[in-house]
Structure 1
Amino acid sequence: MSQRGFSRSGLEWLSSLPACLLLLAVVLFSTSSDIHNQMLRGGEQLWSGYYKLRMDPVQPECDPNQDIDRAVQEKLAEEKNSDDPMAALLGEAEIDPAEVRLAVERSVENCRQSHASYESLQGKMTTGVKVYRAVELFVADLIAFGLESQRFILVLLVMLCAVTATLTRHHIAMRAMETRLDYMVSHTLQTVANVMLLGSSVIFRQLSFGSDASVSSTELALHNFWITGFAALTIASLYRLFRVPDDLQEGGDFNKAFLAVPLYTVMCLISGTYFALIGHASGIGIYLGKMMELSDMFLNVGLYVWVGMMLKQTRLATLVFNVFRPWRMPPELLAVVAVLVAAVPTAYTGASGIFVIAAGAVIYSELRAAGARRHLALAATAMSGSLGVVLRPCLLVVVIAYLNREVTTDELFGWGIWVFVLTATMFAAVALTVNRQNDFNLAPASDAMAPMLSALKKLIPYVLVIAVVVLFYRWALDVSMDEFSAPRLLPVIMLAILVYEHFSLRKKKSEVIDDAGNRVQVNHQGLERSLRSATNDTTAEIGALLLLLGLSVSIGGVIERSHIMEAFPQAFDSAWSAMLLMVVILVILGMIMDAFGAVILVTATVAGIAYGSGIHPIHFWMVTLVAFELGYLSPPVALNHLLTRQVVGESEVLAAQNEGGTFYQRHERIIMPLIAMGISLILVAFVPLIFYT
């Protein structure tokens, strides 16, 4: 590889490279447990009784050649000369020599068996066993180290990526910074919020030491990691505050400037102010510390983001669109196809927002190239990550089942298929009937089949690469592809695809998506550059998403401590009334909170009310998932629309807003998803009640 391929910027050396190593460590640690299980089975197959050979056998201290008659006489003499006070109190009992002899004989026999076992194990301790055992025990130690370091990896990843997102101005906000006023207001409030985070963490550490409970060295190190991380984040925001870029416009409007403040900052200011007013200044630190209890879940979120960014570097999305391009579908139909096809990778990237970030630019550019109006393309892009969250192996569903023993992943995914069919049907009905502006003049099958089959052939190598990785894990490690193994298999699959493209596309040109969402022809950049670009994007996105998620947990703490939910009845006589309230609450939570933080809050507060009111747990969580997705598409926050704006470019969104037409046409990107998901939510929420209430 050329020297140029390894030329990195200072930020890449200090940010994306360490983040890449941390993510690889997570995959390694999680896979090492599978390797260890197979090594234990292999050791048992190679050497019977390998479990006993894992430690050096200890020679028994007893005498296998002991004189039984002499031992019996000594035992009888000991019993007669015993000064046991209990024997004196209860009276002397007659000693049976036969029983004493039987006990001595059993003891000698056990001793002989122990010596025989020792000699047998000594005979099996060959050089091969010792070498194999050394490797197996090393893997076991690696697993133990991985489990112990999981929380530290999460803190390092969150803080490293949050600092990167701050330095690169990549935090998620309602609108981008365009003027100097936007910039100053945003970074001033970011600095205040970061100082709040730092202060809360310091106070939480002091309170932990002031309590009666002793603080372990691990907990102390975690406290110090959080404090160091928030100090670095504060310094980064101060640096950005005083280093104003030259490309910003002069002037600005205060109302618009506040919309450029990152969502995590708003959540931090709200929760920090609330906790300070009730005399609980350590509140944010405590709730961020709760992330450690689910560190594996949050690390999986990071892995899914990485998978999404690696997907963005491949040709997969473009090749899939090439399959449908020969049919010359009208834009509305192509939008439906795009959203339906996107459901599968959405399920495998963990959450809707991650997929929008990963493939949104491709979907938007393909729809625009097919003649779709901007509002339709933006609506489809925002919805591309909404339908697949109920399909296997979506991480969000796994988290729900983990936190709620009333439901299982099999039950949720089983009913999720029907919810997917419903939401897909609703979106298709809205897209193909409301404001349809094109006729359905598909290309003749005779013209379309040949190029479609040619496009499908180009996908065969990718299918084979995926199959090889999945089958390797299945046969070599006894790991099936499911919702529990997906977080560690998918990064390996995407790395394998990048390796395949590195060797198959060298010196070839391929289509990629630029920052404006346009398809351009470029030379293939190779494995190292692709992985570097993916990790650069991943670092900023993880910082934005995980910090937002952590502060969502803090907002959940505000709602929990303010006892808002206690104002509502803890159970309703009517399941219909309860469901109406649930729908309103869940949509609002979806509008203001990240999915994972909202699930934690709903589990602690709303779920119990639903169960007590006669709503079936599976029904309730299906409603929750659909309501969350409606919330992500609903103003004023509309997270999926914010992510769409981020990937397609501010200029495209502004161009769409400046287009004329009817009220619906001017706001189609917002209204179309709301109609489709709103009708779906009503049907999912209330139709099942007819059958079981």
Structure 2
Amino acid sequence: MSSGGFANRTWQEWLSSLPAFFLLLGVIAYTTSADIHAQLLKLGQSTWDSYFDLRNDPQAPTCDPSINIDAELARLVATHKAEAVEDEFGLFDDEPLDTESMRESLENSKSLCQEKFESFESIQGQMTTGVIIYRTVERFVADVVAFGLSAQKFILAFLVLICAATATLSRHQIAMRPMESALDHRWSSLLQFIANSMLFYSSIEFWALSYVGKESIDAAREGIHASWVIGFGLLAICSLYQLVNIPKDAKKGGSFGHAMLSVPLYTQMCLISGTYFMLQGHTAGIGVYLDKMMDFSDMFLNLGLYVWTGMMLKETRLASLVFNTFRPFRMPTELLAFVAVVVAAVPTAYTGASGIFVIAVGAVIYQELRRAGARRQLALATTAMSGSMGVVLRPCLLVVIIAYLNRDVTTDELFYWGNRVFFLTAFLFLAFVWLTRDKEVKNNPAPLSQAIPEALKLMLPILPYVVIVAGVVIFYHVVLDTALNEFSAPRILPVMMLGFLVYEHFTRKRVSSASVAMAGDSDHVEPEYQGIERATRTSINETTAHIGALLLLMGLSVSIGGVMERSGVMELFPTVFDSQFAAMTALVVLLVFVGMVMDPYGAVILVNATVAVIAFDSGIEPLHFWMVCLVAFELGYLSPPVALNHLLTRQVVGEDEVDQARNEGTTFWRRHEKILLPLLTMGTALLLVAYVPLWYMSN
């Protein structure tokens, strides 16, 4: 049996990757089924005028269409007279009967009854075999959609817990430093065990709290509570297993400081928030805030689909082929880095979060920059920034959420100024990367007359991918009446990636890797292609670990937001500032800090509920404030000591590359370029976005 056979699959593939694969496919299935169902209803109505009546078996009317008007009228008159005789005390006025009105009413009722029977017989007559088969299919699709929507929260809970257990057992959680020594492993596993035990206990308390004042709770809520309790119990067992099974290849010794830095960020957040809530006597606190993920289950499931999309993209040749088209120009690596961050802004706008994009495509960008000759520090800086510029572009979901939460701004306004912020940030990146280039390196750009024909030739292999993209987009638009936007992208992009994998399965040659070199790059050897099954399996394996690490971190960042909200930290902030410049300065510092410790979606919700009103009352325009907010968040994700985008970059690139980067360069800038270049770019952009409009309005 080949290496890709069933016998050689690991425990992770059987117990986590395979279930995660079916869960993600299920999300795509029921969300796409909603589009299919809408089209089935339209087609049914256009084929049969009364299809909405044909969807269900008609019920025969209970009235009598052949009623004798005269006999019924006589019966009603007799009944009225009998009731008058029984009224011996004269309690009711003996009003004369209006027999003409009664007859008219009976005739109308008879006419309406006959119409009901005619409609019933007409529907029965149209109930052909074709209608019955069609409505059976349509109602089945409707049931799939209804089941998917009702199971959406369960899917998210299972996905988070399965993937979190995988990330824990594979030591793939996001931390500021990797675990290297035995001391690192011991302290990290111990604190993870304590944190997971806190989550387990808090979930039990939250479950019990749900019964307060109630005899019972909804069965679905009961199931969610049970899922959290069982899942966090298993997580605690996983971390306990890691504690007693230190890897044999772990280095001896180690320092306490490094060990603390190797503790995953979600663990640190859980210990902080859990300790706070327990001291406040609110032991269910973490469970309450973590459960808020269920209110945005569709959003978090979409993030999982985006991660899977990126992992499948990494298994294709598309990114390499795109970068190949720039090689004939022999442009400096600094200019190529600029091209990379600008091109990456478009897919980032669909994912809606820079961290998601770094996880999804960061490894591809880093590899291609290194292949083009970029130094490691520059490649790491570019990878960390690759998603930072696109969060202000249409159709970024984060901007849509801001507009949804605030009636003072619209998406059109935010995207209009977002385009200008994007061009500003791109220009600053180009300026700083060019000013800090290696001046000793002599560039020899190719003549355009030579480079353009070669680049056009290298674009030919990309055309099939363009055809696949166009085909999928046209299919969804024409057949399902669904355009590619921020709402449909999560279910459409994975279909495109699967199309790429199918195409490559039938076109890539299975030859020795030693004989396969990328066009225009004789130093790069393309790995041997193993087929669609291996590519899909590899992508879902990586997706599982990344989803577990990222979604658990996002969930615990919500609890940190709860601590900030309940502790009154925000109340220490002045409610209004006399000076707009003073208000902006304080807000910039606070927003950057929030961006350092919270995921973007949770941060927007927290800021909208607490900080936004302070800005507005201090005279800062809502549109101006939210643009500052978006840029400040991105600076926060790039700022030490947390620097989440750098942590995600290290996770997808590999610790070996980061270690080698630390030893490169002879100047302070070169040794720390991966941190300094993003800080300088986004920091300058933030200062300009924050203060130039205030200065302009004050003059």
Task: Give the TM-score band, short-chain normalised.
Answer: over 0.9
Tell me what 1:93 maps to: 95
Matched, 1:451 2:473: no
Residue aligning to 2:4: 4
Specify the code of the residue in structure 1 equivalent to 2:337: A
Q: What whole-Å deviation, never above 9, does each CA across 1:609-668 have from its counterpart, x for those lacking one?
A: 223333333322221111111011110011111122222222222222223423222222
Q: Indicate whether 1:539 and 2:544 are aligned.
A: yes
Amino acid at match of 1:374: R
Task: Give the 5 Å matches for 1:422-571.
Answer: 422-437=424-439, 438-507=441-510, 520-571=525-576
Which segment is superposed worse, 3-12 or 545-554? 3-12
d(CA) in 1 for partners of 2:240, 2:673: 40
> Which stretch has the larger CA shift, 539-548 or 493-502?
493-502
Provide the secondary structure at the position in 2 that maps to 1:541.
helix
- Structure 2 Cα separation of the partners of residues 508 and 397 of structure 1: 47
Deviations 1:588-627 (A, max 9, x none): 0111222222222212211222233333333222211111
Summarize the Cα distance change of 1:369–1:429 in structure 2 as closer, same or farther, 3 Å threshold: same
Match of 1:244 among 243, 246, 249: 246
- Paired residues for 1:198-277 under 5 Å: 198-212=200-214, 214-277=216-279
- Structure 1 residue corresponding to 2:177, chosen from 163, 169, 175: 175
Q: In structure 2, what is the equivalent of residue 595 of structure 1?
A: 600
Q: Residues of 1 paired with 2:583 and 2:184: CA distance?
A: 43
Whether the aligned pair in 1 keeps the contact of 2:176 and 2:647 (CA below 8 Å) is yes
1:63 corresponds to which letter in structure 2?
Answer: D
Aligned to 2:73: 72
3-state SS, counterpart of residue 526 of structure 2 = strand
Distance of 2:303 and 2:380 partners within structure 1: 25
Aligned 8 A contact 2:4 2:534 in 1: no
CA contact (8 A) 1:360 1:648 kept: yes
8 A contact 1:365–1:519 mirrored in 2: no
Farther off after superposition, 338-347 or 20-29 = 338-347
Cα distance in 2 for residues equivalent to 1:564 and 1:512? 57
Are 1:390 and 1:420, in contact at CA under 8 Å, matched by a contact in 2? yes
Q: Which moved more, 1:587-596 or 1:462-471?
A: 587-596
SS in 2 for 1:625: helix
**How far apart are residue 499 of structure 1 and its match?**
1.2
2:388 paired residue number: 386
What is the CA deviation profile of residues 309-339 of structure 1, one whole-angstrom value per residue up to 9, with x for unaligned ones?
1111111111111011111111211111111
Q: Which amino acid aligns with 2:551?
A: L
Match of 1:608 in 2: 613
Q: Quote the offset at 1:368 in angstroms.
A: 2.7
Q: Is the 8 A contact 1:5 1:528 kept in 2?
A: no
Q: Deviations over 1:101-122 (max 9, x none)?
A: 1101100000100010000001
Structure 1 SS opposite 2:210: helix
2:155 aligned with 1:150, yes or no? no
Identify the residue that residue 139 of structure 2 maps to in structure 1: 137
- 1:92 maps to a residue whose letter is D
Distance 1:691 1:121, change over 3 A: farther
Query: In structure 1, what is the equivalent of residue 33 of structure 2?
Result: 32
In structure 2, the CA distance between the partners of 1:3 and 1:662, relative to structure 1 (3 Å rule), is closer
Q: TM-score, normalised by structure 1?
A: 0.95
Secondary structure of residue in 1 paired with 2:77 = helix
Contact 1:32/1:142 (CA < 8 Å) preserved in 2? Answer: yes
Partner in structure 1 of residue 60 of structure 2: 59
Could you tell me whether the CA contact under 8 Å between 1:509 and 1:521 is conserved in 2?
A: no
Whole-angstrom CA distance in 1 between matches of 2:347 and 2:555: 25
- Deviation by residue 1:76-115 (Cα, 9 ceiling, x = unmatched): 2333344699x96563333211111110110000010001
Q: Residue 684 of structure 1: CA displacement?
A: 1.4
Cα distance in 2 for residues equivalent to 1:163 and 1:402 = 34
Aligned equivalents of 2:377 and 2:303: distance in 1? 30
What does residue 376 of structure 1 align with? 378
Please state how far the C-alpha of 1:432 moved relative to its aligned partner. Answer: 0.8
Which residue does 2:295 correspond to in 1?
A: 293
Post-superposition offset of 1:678: 0.6
Instruction: Note closer, same or farther for the CA distance 1:425–1:647 as it changes in structure 2 (3 Å cut).
Output: same
> Contact (CA 8 Å) 1:297, 1:399: kept in 2 or not?
no
2:24 matches 1:23 = yes
Higher mean alpha-carbon deviation, 335-344 vs 3-12, is at 3-12
Q: Distance in 2 between matches of 1:454 and 1:354?
A: 33
Residue of structure 2 equivalent to 1:187: 189
Given that residues 57 and 122 in structure 1 are in contact (C-alpha distance below 8 angstroms), is that contact kept between their aligned partners in structure 2? Answer: yes
The question of whether the paired residues in 1 share the 8 Å contact of 2:274 and 2:283 is answered with: yes
Determine the C-alpha separation between the residues in 1 that align with 2:49 and 2:498.
38
CA distance in 1: counterparts of 2:614 and 2:400, whole angstroms: 22
Distance 1:612 1:235 in 2: 50
Matching of residue 645 in structure 1 with residue 650 in structure 2: yes
Q: Secondary structure at the match of 1:687?
A: helix
Q: Deviations over 1:259-279 (max 9, x none)?
A: 000000000000000001111
TM-score, normalised with respect to structure 2: 0.94
- Rounded Cα–Cα distance in structure 1 between residues aligned with 2:113 and 2:373: 87
The partner residue of 1:675 within 677, 680, 692 is 680
Number of positions where the alignment pairs a residue of Structure 1 with one of Structure 2: 688
Q: Deviations over 1:507-558 (max 9, x none)?
A: 2578899xxxx95422212111111111000000000000000000000000
Q: Does 1:617 align with 2:622?
A: yes
Whether contact under 8 Å (1:327, 1:443) holds in the other structure is yes
Relative to structure 1, the CA distance from residue 79 to residue 576 in structure 2 (aligned partners, 3 Å threshold; closer, same or farther) is: farther
Q: Does 1:662 align with 2:631?
A: no
CA distance in 2, matches of 1:498, 1:34: 24
Q: Distance in 2 between matches of 1:666 and 1:78?
A: 103
SS at match of 2:71: helix
Q: 1:684 aligns to what? A: 689
Q: Is the 8 A contact 1:181 1:257 kept in 2?
A: yes
Counterpart contact for 1:187–1:240, Cα < 8 Å: yes
- Using the TM superposition, name which of 350-359 and 166-175 deviates more: 350-359
The whole-number CA distance in structure 1 between the counterparts of 2:397 and 2:110 is 58
1:388-419 CA distances to partner (integer Å, 9 max, x unpaired)?
12222333333333444444434333322111
| Per-residue Cα deviation, 1:483-516 (whole angstroms, up to 9, x for no partner) | 1111111111111111111112142578899xxx
- Matched with 1:125 is 127
- Contact map agreement 1:435 1:665 (CA 8 A) in 2: no
Q: Which runs of 5+ in 2 are unaligned?
A: none
User: In structure 1, how many angstroms separate the alpha carbons of the residues matched to 2:411 and 2:105?
Assistant: 55
Shift of 1:251: 0.5
Q: Deviations over 1:550-592 (max 9, x none)?
A: 0000000000000111122333344333222221111001112
Distance (whole Å) between structure 2 residues aligned to residue 512 and residue 260 of structure 1: 38
Distance 1:88 1:356 in 2: 88
Look up the equivalent residue of 1:550 and give its one-letter code: G
